[in-house]
Amino acid sequence: MPTLVEKPPEGDDWIHEVKFDGYRSQIIIDDADVRIFTRRGLDWSAKYRDLVDAAKELNVQNAIVDGEIIVTNEAGLSDFAALRKAITRRQHDLYFVAFDLLHLNGHDLRDMALEDRRDILVSMISTGGRIQFSQALQGEAKAIFHLVDEAGLEGMVSKRKDSKYRSGPSTNWLKAKCYSIDEYELLGVEREAGKPAFALMAERGTGRYVGSAFITLNREMRERLLERVQEHAGAAPKGMKRPATQWVKPGLIGRVKPLRGEEDLRHASLQDFRDED
């Protein structure tokens, strides 16, 4: 599991790949038997029938392939919301993007260098199929990250070229994620002495709590926000108990900058706010 960092590492010791917005999965091939497991070890082979069939076409006796199951949108970007629908309704839209090879034809490859494992992996995969290879991005890390951000991608993963494969969190794999700007309903403001202030946010339309955002507004905007919160004072949403929070009635919208590709807010900051139209 890659470690989250603010910026991708520089230098020639790393390869860089797109961070796909999907389900991390492993394909396990054992002769005619193919299974696909989730990151938490659940067997989801029945949910990925088309990908199971595609894996049976690989010219191997047995293998363990690490990758990400995705669906792409009209812009060609991986789309997590569409993925969840495709699993139950549109199997033919699923792709498996392979980025590592742990085992092949009776040989444990985990102690090999990453570059060597990937060289073997790419030779196994034909172009144009449901199973694709995660190509390394060429260029300087800073320039790659800028292009990834501009393209609207979730981020990038950087891996040490000579690293061995080890389960669990690792600093040999690093992920740098991009930010997006989205609007959410403001539920309230949480303030405790000696601690940063947070805006508690909900998904617009559903009212589902999605997390908190640091209030990083300038002094004038912060004072205006607190004034509006007082004017809109309301009761706590059902099931939410946070004593240090001043809750507000529906009607205030916050403009939030969170990490892209997360289901709920993460590393988010409040950029602005307004009354709902």
Predicted confidence at residue 194, as pLDDT, reads 82
Question: 24 with 172: CB under 8 angstroms?
Answer: no
Q: What is the pLDDT of residue 101?
A: 98
Residue 75 to residue 152: CA distance in whole angstroms: 10
The closest alpha carbon to 264, from 214, 215, 209, belongs to 209
pLDDT, one tens digit per residue, over 82-98 is: 887 888 878 788 999 99
Domain with CATH 2.40.50 in the chain: 182-275
Q: Would you state the structure tokens that stand for residue 153, as one six-digit string?
A: 């991608």
Given this model, what pLDDT does residue 162 score?
97
Yes or no: say if 189 and 225 are a contact pair by the CB < 8 Å rule.
Answer: yes
pLDDT at 216: 86
Distance CA(164)–CA(81), nearest Å, equals 33
Which residue has tokens 């290879």?
133
Please, are residues 233 and 154 in contact by the beta-carbon 8 Å criterion? no
Q: What Cα–Cα distance (Å) separates residue 256 from each residue in 107, 198, 240, 245?
A: 48, 12, 21, 19
pLDDT at 30: 95
Question: What does the chain come to in residues?
Answer: 277
C-alpha separations of 82 from 43, 70, 85, 134, 170 in Å = 21, 9, 5, 20, 29
Can you give the pLDDT at residue 266?
87
CATH of domain 182-275: 2.40.50
The helix (run of H) or strand (run of E) holding residue 71 is none
Our answer to whether residue 19 is catalytic in this structure is yes
Write the DSSP symbol of residue 233.
B
- Whether the model pTM is above 0.85: no
Residue type, 67: G
Q: What is the fold, at CATH topology level, of the domain defined by 2-177?
A: D-amino Acid Aminotransferase; Chain A, domain 1 (3.30.470)
Angle at 258 between CA 189 and CA 80, to 5 degrees: 125
* Token pair listed for 42: 């659940």
* Pair of tokens at residue 110: 């985990």
Catalytic residue chosen out of the listed positions 7, 19, 56, 142? 19
Q: DSSP 3-state helix, strand, coil percentages of the chain (rounded to 5)?
A: 20, 40, 40
Q: Which residues of the chain fall short of a pLDDT of 50? A: none
CATH 3.30.470.30 occupies which residues in the chain? 2-177
State residue 91's pLDDT score: 78
For residues 61 and 34, is the Cβ–Cβ distance under 8 A?
no
Dist CA 163 CA 14 (whole Å): 10
Q: What is the pLDDT of residue 170?
A: 94
Question: For the segment 170-181, what is each residue's pLDDT rounded down to a tens digit?
Answer: 999 999 999 999
